Amino acid sequence: MSEREQMQEQKMPVVAVVLAAGFGTRFDENNPKQLVSVGDKPIVCWSIEAFERNDRVSDIIVVVNERVSNMVNMLIDEAGYTKVRAVIPGGSERVDSTRAALDLLKQAGIPDGAKILIHDSVRPFVEQQSIDGCIDGLDQFNAATVAYASTDTILLTEDLGERKVVRSVPDRTDAFRAQTPQAFRFGTITKAYELATADPDFHPTDDTRVVVDYLPNEPVAIVAGSETNLKITTQADMPIAENIAHSLDPEHAKQEAKARMHAVFAEAFSQMHKH
């Protein structure tokens, strides 16, 4: 890479897209888990702060359910996050929320070479080295994903009558559990989504899957994840999340900060339930 190309690369935006539009019924059918507090801080704030703290991330887009948009905006204002450029409504499916963010970035004229990191807000404890690994991975590849080596044997199955049966057992050394963020050059992820949108059978649950399925010749680099990059899915995950939160952020328990955050949360929560 020439010196000029290196300078251009350094100026490329690094945009984090925090997906917080889901309303998971497995957790609480009345309240979104993204707004539940862990370690006295709403889950979505943990995720936003991970990218806010990273000096290499230039911009943050937060995608939310319209029902909680006001609440999230209040939390962002109270916390004083400086990199959040927009809080936008998402869709009923994860891919709809990703597309909403990509459409916004396209309208903003973001270059194809920009680095886009897409993160599930319900993974509040993503490590800085994983974020850096994604950014670095895009220097060599057009796609990269955080993943954690599986310690369990993975079974691939198929249907046999009314039962699931084992079809194959992949070598455990090749098996990883997908995590987030998942990172892409903007031109790569937008091209993959354009192809996917034209497919009536398009139902992926993961952005990496979109690239793998619709740009099969595009390698996706693996970035080391961690066991603490937990996805909070059900109430059973909360005790583990609380333990991680207290180990990572013991200072957050200070009473002044705790009282301020609770006051903002209570006011926003009250407004949400008036509608």
Name the percent of the chain lying above pLDDT 90.
Answer: 70
pLDDT of residue 121: 96
Instruction: Give rounded-to-5 percent helix, strand, coil for the chain.
Output: 45, 20, 35
CA distance 90 to 102: 11
Which pLDDT tens digit goes with each residue over 95-141?
Answer: 999 999 999 999 999 999 999 999 999 999 999 999 999 999 999 99
CA distances from 142 to 28, 189, 217, 235 (A): 37, 9, 11, 36
Task: Output the average pLDDT for the chain.
Answer: 89
- Tracing tokens 């926003």 back to the chain, one arrives at 268
Q: Give the start-to-end residue ranges of the domains of the chain.
A: 3-272
Reply yes or no on whether the pLDDT at 88 is more than 90: yes
Which pLDDT tens digit goes with each residue over 46-75?
Answer: 999 999 999 999 999 999 998 889 999 999
Which CATH superfamily is 3-272 part of?
Spore Coat Polysaccharide Biosynthesis Protein SpsA; Chain A (3.90.550.10)
Binning pLDDT at 50, 70 and 90, where does residue 30 land?
low
Sign of the Cα pseudo-torsion (199, 201, 207, 213, in order) = negative
Strand runs labelled E in 123-243? 143-149, 156-160, 163-168, 176-185, 221-224
pLDDT of residue 26: 56
Reply yes or no on whether the pLDDT at 147 is more than 60: yes
Binning pLDDT at 50, 70 and 90, where does residue 204 land?
confident
pLDDT of residue 183: 99
The CA radius of gyration of the chain, in Å to the nearest whole number, is: 19
